[in-house]
Amino acid sequence: MKNSVTLQTPPMGWNSYDYYDTMVSENEIKANADFMAEHLKEFGWEYIVVDIQWYAHGAGTMRDKHQYIPFGKVEIDEFSRLFPCPDRFPSSVGGLGFGPLAEYIHKLGLKFGIHIMRGIPRIAAHTHSKVMGTNKTANEIADPYSICSWNPDMYGVIPEAEGSQEYYDSLMDLYADWGVDFIKCDDICRMDVPSAKQEIKMLKKAIDRCGRPMVLSLSPGPALIDESWHYTTHANMWRITDDFWDDWKYLLPMFKRCEIWQRHVGEGNYPDCDMLPVGMVGKGFGNERPTRFTREEQITMMSLWCIFRSPLMIGGELTLLDDWTLKLLTNREVLKLLTNSEGARQLLRDDHHCIWLSYDKQDDKRYLAVFNLSEEECSIIINPDLVEIHSFNDLILTEIWSGTTEICKENQLTVSLPRHGASIYCY
């Protein structure tokens, strides 16, 4: 069948990057998992994802000069496979890798994910390290010209080289042994190098072969719309934006991106709007701060991600979540969009506002999301023919962020919104 994992709804979870950068440790992962199990799990949140450079010794120690230290020491086995750095992940010693941490998370009823970089460690190629299950060595499958433009750790593999598929197979076998449920592969989605397209296919094949269902998530974006079929066929999630952060200049363009990708959302396939930089973020980047988004912008972001049905990955540190943010993330009516709605489509978008419509087949309800993209508060008048009804008159509308219900008394619907704000009506 098409995907070895069945994802009836978009994945929901937490990712270490926005708060910890490269520096997260085992205890910090556990603390976030504990928090999720206690406060978020019941609302559908379940993935705990360790992001980039868990294998790097001294990660973050030269943060003023390098996000990723060039030619730094990495934890690696004899088969060219990276392992968690034991300084930060002490339970990994003795060749256990992420097994014990995954087990801890599974016991909480949650799922465990890791970040990987496309390719094979550069050091493995230069030292002619082995490739498991073959008589090949890393230098025979590594492509010295296939490098990532922003991280110095890996070489891409040569898809045609004997041993390349076996290398990816050996990785997925290892991750399956560890109990990994979610793979976020980086430096691959945007296809910066031509072989990346083939490497996506090789990853998918390796996951199918390994026997354990694992979600395949591709980064960074923007994904190429011309390659939508390739993503849909071989992956579960793919980033439709470059790294997303807490600034309106990143949020505004997401409306165009969602417009472009709206027809590619469906079971097992979720174009990905990237992490939610809410609560406390930025510590590892030397800039710990509450999110710079206003409350209205956070509502706008959540509304768009949910009606579009993007995966939801919290970027802020869970143990520091304030009440308002916790409520933002646990509004059951809003999260229903993610789980129950289908066929969401943009009805209108101009410089000032944007309107989406979606449908909940189970409850036979419509969701109408209205966004104010302008720099001023505004009133938007919506004609019934835009939403393909005859009149708004007498329609009972519930705004699901506020929970307020009203009976519309006019043919048109008038929506008043603050600057950068949004409302979602259910009817």
Residues that bind a copy of itself (CB under 8 A): 1-2, 70-71, 122-123, 125-128, 139, 142-145, 147, 149-150, 152, 225-226, 228-229, 259-260, 262-264, 346, 349, 385, 388
Cβ within 8 Å of residue 263, ≥6 positions away: none
Q: How far is the CB of 97 from a copy of itself (least distance, A)?
A: 24
Q: How far is the CB of 111 from a copy of itself (least distance, A)?
A: 26
Q: How far is the CB of 427 from a copy of itself (least distance, A)?
A: 19
Category of 91 on φ-ψ map: left (φ > 0), alpha (ψ -120 to 50) or beta: alpha
Residue 217, H or E segment: strand 215-218
Cβ closer to a copy of itself: 229 or 379? 229
Residues 27, 29, 32, 33, CA torsion sign: negative
Cβ closer to a copy of itself: 45 or 261? 261
Q: How far is the CB of 44 from a copy of itself (least distance, A)?
A: 27
Cβ closer to a copy of itself: 128 or 327? 128
Kind of pairing, strands 312-314 and 47-50? Answer: unpaired
Q: How far is the CB of 281 from a copy of itself (least distance, A)?
A: 27
The Cβ of residue 314 has, within 10 Å, a number of other Cβ atoms equal to: 26
Contact status, residue 405 vs residue 389, Cβ threshold 8 Å: no
Q: How far is the CB of 140 from a copy of itself (least distance, A)?
A: 9
Cβ closer to a copy of itself: 7 or 320? 7
Cβ closer to a copy of itself: 160 or 323? 160
Residues 248, 249, 250, 254, CA torsion sign: positive
Strand-pairing partners, residue 121, are 154
Retrieve residue 302's tokens. Answer: 């959540």
Cβ closer to a copy of itself: 70 or 109? 70
Contact status, residue 384 vs residue 412, Cβ threshold 8 Å: yes
Cis peptide before 220 (omega within 30 of 0): yes
Q: How far is the CB of 229 from a copy of itself (least distance, A)?
A: 5
Strand-pairing partners, residue 111, are 47
Going from the C-alpha of 280 to that of each of 49, 276, 291, 293, 305, the distances in angstroms are 17, 11, 6, 11, 20
Cβ closer to a copy of itself: 32 or 134? 134
